[in-house]
Amino acid sequence: MPDRTAWLDRTREGALEPELPICDPHHHLWEHPGSRYLLDEFLHDVGSGHRIVSTVHVECVQHYRSTGPVALQPVGETEFVHRATASHQDEAGGARVAAGIVGFADLTLGQAVMPVLRAHLDASSRFRGVRYASAWDASPEIRVAHTHPPPGLLRDPAFLAGFACLARLGLSFDAWLYHTQFGELAELAREFPEVTIVLDHMGGPLGIGPYAGRQKELFAEWRAALAGLSPCGNVFAKLGGRTLTLAGFGWHRRDAPPGSEELASATAPYYAACIDLFGPGRCMFESNFPVDRASCSYAVLWNSFKRLSRRYSDTERAALFHDTAARAYRLA
């Protein structure tokens, strides 16, 4: 992912309602060839005017251990994030970056994943759970998740045995999958009602490849699938990911990025559908930076959330911007 700063600077906005407390429950810190987004870069975005009081870091295959058992190598990411953000936990008036950490553990190890989960917990008191991305689509034009999951992962017996270990340790599960896979997630949620499951990016309603040009039809399909998932009271929804390139809006290809009014207008129906079905007590706005940085700046993204949420009460907005995330991830 190339640096987009110069392009993003073509559309600048001051932060709306700058005193509204925000927990950003989904971002990454990474260092890939040609793409650096570490603490300094994230703090630059966080410093754009919104009141970010805490964040949750979600796994992105960074700084795995290079030695030792393969199963334990992902613990290196938790160790890295804990070290990198240690100085940003007690700052008066500042953001507690990575107040919660979501790591990776290979749940297909079954019962054998328990030592890996315990190692994550030993690595950081801020470790809250696991994400095992299962996003998969039959079309070769749709990129599968970075974990290279097979179809039907969430119903695999070995995976379910590993998932049971999350339940025993009181850990959460982040689900990154596409809306065509909601049925599998609903079965998982019903089987483990004691586990908090967080649906990342609203289940990625697709808009590219074979899904391109079918926005109205696919919105109806996505909403119907979401309605089948929403009765599972242990499932929470992260409201974001509409500025992902796979969403199909094409903002990343424009001469200048969109402003918050345009973003709010285009994305509001998706967020409204989630809030209507799950309620503010199970919904949380997210940045998904730096991935969503491909289409807009941090300041503009949170401005769009603030614009489209104005029809909700102060209590409901507090939940959407902070309280739901803090509760789901057990942040002090």
- pLDDT over 70 at 1, yes or no: no
**Residue-level pLDDT at 201:** 94
How far apart CA 202 and CA 198 sit, in angstroms, is 9
- Output phi, psi for 186, to 5 deg: -60, -40
H/E element, 129: strand 127-131
**Residue-level pLDDT at 213:** 79
Angle at 6 between CA 30 and CA 306, to 5 degrees: 75
How far apart CA 139 and CA 317 sit, in angstroms, is 38
* pLDDT tens for each residue of 277-295: 999 999 999 999 999 999 9
**Residue-level pLDDT at 217:** 87
Beta bridge partners of residue 22, listed in sequence order: 52
Residues 6+ apart with CB under 8 A from 186: 228, 229, 232, 235
Tell me the average pLDDT of the chain.
Answer: 94
- pLDDT over 90 at 32, yes or no: no
Q: What domains, with CATH codes, occur in the chain?
A: 23-328 (3.20.20.140)
Structure tokens at 217: 């039809």
How far apart CA 63 and CA 74 sit, in angstroms, is 8
pLDDT cut 90: percent of the chain above it: 80
Residue 231 confidence class, pLDDT cut points 50, 70, 90:
very high
The helix/strand count (H/E) of the chain reads as 11, 10
Residue 90 confidence class, pLDDT cut points 50, 70, 90:
confident
How far apart CA 189 and CA 181 sit, in angstroms, is 13
Q: What is the mean pLDDT of residues 289-306?
A: 96
Write down how long the chain is.
Answer: 332
Q: What is the mean pLDDT of residues 63-86?
A: 97
**Residue-level pLDDT at 274:** 97
* pLDDT tens for each residue of 115-159: 999 999 999 999 999 999 998 888 887 777 788 888 899 999 999
Q: What is the mean pLDDT of residues 163-172?
A: 98
E-assigned strand segments in 157-260: 172-175, 197-199, 235-239
**Residue-level pLDDT at 331:** 96
- pLDDT over 80 at 208, yes or no: no
- pLDDT over 60 at 203, yes or no: yes
The one-letter code for the residue type at 317 is R
How far apart CA 262 and CA 18 sit, in angstroms, is 20
- pLDDT over 60 at 92, yes or no: no
For residues 208 and 242, the model is more confident at 242
H/E element, 123: helix 114-123
- pLDDT over 70 at 2, yes or no: no
Residues 265, 228 contacting (CB under 8 angstroms) = no
**Residue-level pLDDT at 259:** 96
Residue 242 confidence class, pLDDT cut points 50, 70, 90:
confident
Q: What is the mean pLDDT of residues 191-203?
A: 96
List the strands of the sheet with 283-285, edge to edge.
21-27, 51-58, 96-103, 127-131, 172-175, 197-199, 235-239, 283-285
Residues 6+ apart with CB under 8 A from 232: 186, 189, 190, 193, 197
Report the predicted TM-score, pTM, of the whole model to 2 decimal places. Answer: 0.95
Residues 135, 204 contacting (CB under 8 angstroms) = yes
**Residue-level pLDDT at 247:** 67
